[in-house]
Chain A
Amino acid sequence: MKKQLVYKRFNRFWHWTQSALIFFLGLTGFEIHGSLTFFGFENAVHYHNNAAIGFIVLIVFAIFWHFTTGEWKQYLPTAANLREQIAYYLDGIFRNAPHPTQKTALSKLNPLQRLVYLGLKILVIPVMVMSGLLYMYYRYPQSYGIESIRIFDLGTVAVLHTIGAFALVSFVIVHLYLITTGHTITSNLKAMVTGYEELEDEKH
């Protein structure tokens, strides 16, 4: 076992800012949606809109980071070990069996994580950003009389945005729990905070 830097500084910054923003966007978003009352409707709209801009800025930086560092390759899906990983969560974990996928600094995601995070990156987040931006700006073509891009039906935009929001809430619930399934209950959390994790020596 050796202490290794798994999550570099930007990686951690990005992760924690994103989690705060998604939490905040969810809270304010569902207030707008009418599911809860917390900030007051007007504030919720105001905060949600501003947090969304912050989120988009962060995403731009993150995309840049993923490509310049080559980190994007970590999210390429793989079928290898997929079955074993599922079996682990359904069975092995209860018997204290070893993790089927070895975590290394160059491959820190197991095949299930790869799939889910890729789904977030190329489906859920883009849907949220696109529908969110349309939600914000759909009035402009209308008020300036640009017929070709007039959006008649805010409903479709809003419903897509809502579906994405529910998906994110569900993701967050499961994600929070899965934090505890590392080597020890807190090892994953510690790793994302400090960047370092005790990893088994790579087999060559």
Chain B
Amino acid sequence: MKKSLIIFSIIAVFLLVAIILQATKPYVPHPVADLKLKYSKKHVPSVDHSKLAALQVKFSTPQQVTEACNSCHTERHKEVMKSSHWNWSREEYIPGRGIRTIGKKNVLNNFCIGTQSNEQSCAKCHIGFGMANPDFSYDDPSYVDCMACHDNSGKYKKATEQGGAPDPSVNLNEIAQHVGQPLRSNCGTCHFYGGGGNNVKHGDLEMSMFDPTKDVDVHMASDGVDLQCTACHVTKNHVMAGKVYSLSSMNRNRSTCEQCHTDRPHTNDVINQHTVKVACQTCHIPVYAKVNATKMSWDWSTAGRLRNGEPYNEEDADGNHAYMSIKGSFVWQKNVEPEYAWFNGTANHYLLGDKVDTNEVIRINSFNGSYEDRDSKIIPVKIHRARQIYDPVTKMLIQPKLFAPEKGDGAFWKDFNWNTAAAAGMKEAHLPYSGQYTFVNTEMYWPINHMVSKKEKSVECTECHTRDNGRLAALKGFYMPGRDYNAGVELFGKVLIVLSLLGVIGHAAVRFAAHKKRK
């Protein structure tokens, strides 16, 4: 008996060990090392612009620079003028609403609300000059600003509230002689400061990414492969891959992780199977706003308080604005865990003039998608929550006039009167205003795509596959192992086990007692 016992235990142990050791399918994913090799090769320009005669002529206006660029690159400005960077709008098909031209011109946000009637100051981030000029036209090529994106000297900057003109201190010749492919410093100048300050909007795009470490972003890390934005936002004829869903609705021309990494990038196939329903970003961006805080909420209703008739600002412990008379109260957060949403690549938007009820939070943009939808995946999002001005009679969100050079135009930032700001803003937007206003809760969704962490920092299984307070606790309507269970079955199971144990113990006890007695 001893011998067979030993043999059987050895076989059993052997089998168990074999099972444990048995490696997953011999699947070898595309090696990241290849990508590193490919992308660490630096681009070598074929032309040194400082040697070109056309750029030695002294430039007195930025328009002259554009003309000089166009003298060689004769067709490029036409591409630019077709782009959304120039037009601030594009035609999009919105599911359920048809084809609409949407963009900054007619979409609201819940930060500074909108560009309508505020172009003067917004144009600092337009790739053109002269939005302030009365004769400005989107069809006039001389207004195209090549330098904003192609300056490689790092010295170009635009003046504040001058309709997009360069700062008077800028040496136009120096810039023109140091142009090249766009760098993070070009894109970041606008995209890191959206909403009027560093990291106000995105949360995952901010000034630390001019020169990030690997801990901040494995792709753009200066001490790593040092990718520039256009490495992923691959650009052809001035059309960039990828766009942000604050202004886009369609699932087209996106820039995705899979384009480089494939949809089976892991050696463990169980993890690869996740890519059917889970976007790469969901696990690989465990937190955003890693270096500087981002704005999580904005309450416009408190704006307009004055001290001795003057606007004032207050700062939070980290030195971020907590209150501004011109804008209201803010909450900033750093190292934020994203919220999560189903997303199939199409989005809906509140368009200027839409009528909405206030029973629920108003969605400035909303992502389409669900578990049942085959094209949907779970993505990480920053949800920016706000209280903003609304007309309870027309049921429209109000586009207030915020900026004006002088008092008396109705601009809120000068006059601090919501009523006149609402009237002036809606008039310029050619929309009705009832004369009544109130403040309503709104939400805006920002997909989190940047600040990808090192693989060791990825979200762990049990951060989602856990009974309570997992990262995906808020996503309902589907079964997730480790998180979900059927309460009835759980009770049935526990009762069954307890009864079995009690039965066995009881039976054994009686048997034992009877046995004793017999003796």
- A contact set with B: CB distance below 8 Å: 12-13, 16-17, 20-21, 24, 32-34, 40-42, 45-47, 49-51, 54, 89, 93-96, 139, 142-143, 145, 152-155, 158-159, 162-163, 165-167, 169-170, 173-174, 176-177, 180, 190, 193-195
Return chain B residues, CB-CB under 8 Å to A195: 4
B493:A177 contact, CB within 8 angstroms: no
- Tell me if B496 counts as interface (CB < 8 A to partner A): yes
Count of A-B contacts judged by CB separation below 8 Å: 126
A41:B462 contact, CB within 8 angstroms: yes
Question: A-side binding surface: helix, strand, loop or mixed?
Answer: helix
CB contact under 8 A between A158 and B492, given known A47-B19, A142-B374, A170-B497:
no
Can you spell out 25 A-B residue pairs with CB atoms less than 8 angstroms apart? A24-B19, A32-B481, A33-B481, A33-B482, A34-B483, A47-B19, A50-B20, A95-B514, A96-B514, A139-B276, A142-B276, A145-B374, A152-B372, A153-B479, A154-B478, A159-B486, A162-B489, A163-B489, A163-B493, A166-B489, A170-B497, A173-B501, A176-B504, A190-B1, A195-B4
B482:A41 contact, CB within 8 angstroms: yes
Question: CB < 8 Å: which of B1, B12, B514 contacts A94?
Answer: B514
Return chain A residues, CB-CB under 8 Å to B492: 163, 166
A93:B511 contact, CB within 8 angstroms: yes
- B contact set with A: CB distance below 8 Å: 1, 4-5, 8, 11-12, 15-16, 18-20, 22, 24, 268, 270, 273, 276-277, 372, 374, 460-462, 465-467, 478-479, 481-486, 489, 492-493, 496-497, 499-501, 503-504, 507-508, 510-511, 514-515, 518
A166 to B508, CA, bound (A): 22
- B1 to chain A minimum Cβ distance, whole angstroms, is 4
B374:A194 contact, CB within 8 angstroms: no
- B503 to chain A minimum Cβ distance, whole angstroms, is 7
B372:A162 contact, CB within 8 angstroms: no
A32 to B489, CA, bound (A): 16
Return chain A residues, CB-CB under 8 Å to B461: 40-42, 45
Question: CB < 8 Å: which of B19, B489, B500 contacts A159?
Answer: B489
A17 to B268, CA, bound (A): 27
Question: CB < 8 Å: which of B4, B18, B489, B497 contacts A193?
Answer: B4
Return chain A residues, CB-CB under 8 Å to B460: 41
Return chain B residues, CB-CB under 8 Å to A193: 1, 4-5, 8
Nearest opposing residue in chain A for B270, CB measure = A45
- A41 to chain B minimum Cβ distance, whole angstroms, is 4
Return chain B residues, CB-CB under 8 Å to A153: 479
Return chain B residues, CB-CB under 8 Å to A163: 489, 492-493
B24:A143 contact, CB within 8 angstroms: no
B11:A154 contact, CB within 8 angstroms: no
Given contacts A54-B15, A159-B489, A169-B496, 19 further A-B contacts (CB under 8 A): A13-B11, A34-B483, A41-B460, A50-B20, A50-B22, A94-B511, A96-B518, A152-B372, A154-B479, A155-B484, A159-B486, A162-B489, A162-B493, A166-B492, A166-B497, A169-B497, A174-B504, A176-B504, A180-B508
